Structure 1
Amino acid sequence: MAMRQTPLTCSGHTRPVVDLAFSGITPYGYFMISACKDGKPMLRQGDTGDWIGTFLGHKGAVWGATLNMDATKAATAAADFTAKVWDAVSGDEVLTLAHKHIVKSVNFTQDSTCLLTGGNDKVLRIYDLGKPEADPHEFPGHTSAIKKALWCNDDKQILSAADDKTVRLWDRNSTDAVKTLSFDSSPSSMELVDGEILVITYGKTIAFYNALSLDLIKTVEAPTSISSASLHPDKDFLVAGGDDFKLYKYDYSTLEELESYKGHFGPVHTVRFSPDGELYASGSEDGTLRLWQTAVGKTYGLWKCVLPEELVSETTDPVYNSTPVDIKA
């Protein structure tokens, strides 16, 4: 008998949730950060959604957020023309990096010594976090706002997706664009899985590329305009969400749609698998984050009990962390 998905709902944000990211697996489990238009990014325990703290200091919508692998540092990209680096353990702001326009994307190198940023001023920048007063390394070339920028190839190269309908691969040392992919609409999201597979969404298309050669592997067409897609760490499944409030799950090898269900009360802006692949998180225009089980009915995190379907009320939707308290008043 098919089990019904019972998501854990993480409330606390007051505006649309536009980006989320997981840390790697640490001795304390793994963690999740969410970016929200309320300007108050939140840190949570990844497997339960339990609220840990809120990073206070931005004066505008936060468009991008990330954690380093061991969840000791966080970085955020915001509409106040800054990127900020935070101590993710204490919640303290470590650095503010001033930009010339809205910042949309932040990404740490594997060793957490450098931060890559991108945004509406169309320039990629690398900041050396050990020398924050030094001028950043700049990569001009995009002709519209940059949506997402990621390190790849052991931090020797950079991938960027922009509203000029391109995804570009850059050489870190020469600052040259090595390769450009062009699309018929702006890429809405980009994810790098295991440094090998690049997941790009544009329009209703979810496309998979070899991350090093940028050769197309396969695409799948969804029934709605897709804002974000994520590939399971074992590359078994992918999930996607977009304009029709639904979440879609596909088999990666056959691209068959396995399930779809209404996940939120507004468009889905971001979806990501956890580092252990046991769950995926979604963030929406409705101001919530939801956690979903990859294997429904498995005892994991706060999903303790397995009830026959007829005993699960249609209204069962546990809400945790309904009243978060800020780290710093």
Structure 2
Amino acid sequence: MRPLSLKGHERALTRVRFNREGDLTFSCAKDKKPCVWYTENGERIGSYDGHNGAVWDIDVSWDTTKCVTASGDLTVKIWDAELGNCLYTINHQTPMKSCGFSYSGNLVCFTTQKMTKNLSTFQVRDLRDSSQMVEGGESFFYSQFDVNATTALFTQMDDLVTIGFESGLLQQYDLRNPDTPIHTNESVHRYSVQDLQLSPRGDFLISASRDKTAALLDVNDLKKLKQYKSERPVNSACISPNRDHICLGGGEDAMQVTQTSVSAGHFEAKIYHMVFEEEFARFKGHFGPINTMAWHPSGTIIATGGEDGYIRIQEFDEDYLGFTYDF
């Protein structure tokens, strides 16, 4: 592999994402400036300035016209992806933890943290309704939880959303009938769900957890299909767009890193066969745990973001591209 190492953040990465075409890479970190880069050469195009706290998540619409960020400064911001202007700001009483666009790009979802008397919430706003995008605007969908909702995403067009919780619980809601979850999975993870990502075709969901596993789920009913075990907590996992492969990233907890050797910390990204649940490759690079990863739409590149503040664009070599799994 021939990696590009991108340094544009002062603190640990929290999310990297590609746009639909894969020519742009979007990133955010525990500093206050989300960035956008050219994937081809690693050149930074610019940053989105306006937050005053750690930015926990970023997502980009299908046509790369808008992006959304969730921050610890108690705001979610929707930006003009090309010009960098802030279009809307949504305020809350507690930090925002995750965010995402729907399939059409018309709906935006986000989760908020539980703090003091404020419960954790999951909310959906409609960008086409200006009354929802102003100070004090009401959400199109609003739900409260006793346990922190750590991550959420749209899993079917603009209709279904899946939420991961600090307890390891997974729930799926239908926005057309939002009173109760339509599917729940309490057994797939024992500890916090760190990341949820959808397969490019939208038929599978992969969850990463602090219980040292990642799980492949049926997007229609959250049934666990496969489970991938690691030696350390898994912070992020992604699915290849054109092969039966998945990739896990994580490592020893950041608080323990100073007491951990690089080899013992398991800071490598690990590639597993989706069906056989077997690890067959890994690649190093980060000094510290991997916090986030994304698979390029072409299937030939993986982007990883680490606690060390670097983004690494890993381009697969011929050994991987010509690899066939022996049955």
Written as runs of structure 1 = structure 2, the 5 A alignment for 1:196-207 is 196-202=203-209, 203-207=211-215
Aligned to 1:123: 121
Decide which of 68, 79, 101 is 2:94's aligned counterpart: 101
1:238 aligns with 2:246: yes
- 1:166 counterpart letter in structure 2: L
* 8 Å contact kept, 2:104–2:158: no
Cα separation, partners in 2 of 1:205 and 1:298, compared to 1, 3 Å: closer
Aligned to 2:306: 284
Written as runs of structure 1 = structure 2, the 5 A alignment for 1:1-329 is 5-25=1-21, 30-121=23-114, 122-130=120-128, 131=130, 132-133=133-134, 134-175=137-178, 176-182=180-186, 183-193=189-199, 194-202=201-209, 203-243=211-251, 244-296=266-318
> d(CA) in 2 for partners of 1:230 and 1:139?
28
- 1:24 counterpart letter in structure 2: R
Aligned to 2:262: none
The answer to which structure has the higher helix fraction is 2
Report the Cα offset of residue 141 of structure 1. Answer: 4.3
Q: Which runs of 4+ in 1 moved over 6 A?
A: none
> d(CA) in 1 for partners of 2:80 and 2:275?
40
> d(CA) in 2 for partners of 1:73 and 1:144?
30
Cα separation, partners in 2 of 1:298 and 1:190, compared to 1, 3 Å: closer
1:136-156 CA-to-partner distances (Å, cap 9, x unmatched) read 124324322222111122211
1:188-243 CA-to-partner distances (Å, cap 9, x unmatched) read 11111122101011221111011012111111111221111111012421111111
* 8 Å contact kept, 2:185–2:223: no
RMSD: 1.7
* 8 Å contact kept, 1:142–1:162: no
Tell me: higher relative CO, structure 1 or 2? Use CA pairs within 8 A at least 6 residues apart: 1
Query: Is the partner of 2:41 in helix, strand or coil?
Result: coil
Which deviates more from structure 2 when the two are superposed, residues 131-140 or residues 52-61? 131-140
Report the Cα offset of residue 23 of structure 1. Answer: 1.0
Identity of aligned residues (%): 27
Could you tell me the TM-score, scaled by structure 2's length? Answer: 0.85
Report the Cα offset of residue 173 of structure 1. Answer: 2.0
* 8 Å contact kept, 1:249–1:257: yes
* 8 Å contact kept, 1:146–1:162: yes
Report the Cα offset of residue 61 of structure 1. Answer: 0.2
Report the Cα offset of residue 249 of structure 1. Answer: 1.2
- 1:196 counterpart letter in structure 2: D
Which deviates more from structure 2 when the two are superposed, residues 110-119 or residues 253-262? 253-262
Unaligned runs of 5+ in 1: 300-329
* 8 Å contact kept, 1:269–1:283: yes
1:277-308 CA-to-partner distances (Å, cap 9, x unmatched) read 12010000000000112345799xxxxxxxxx
Could you tell me the TM-score, scaled by structure 1's length? Answer: 0.84
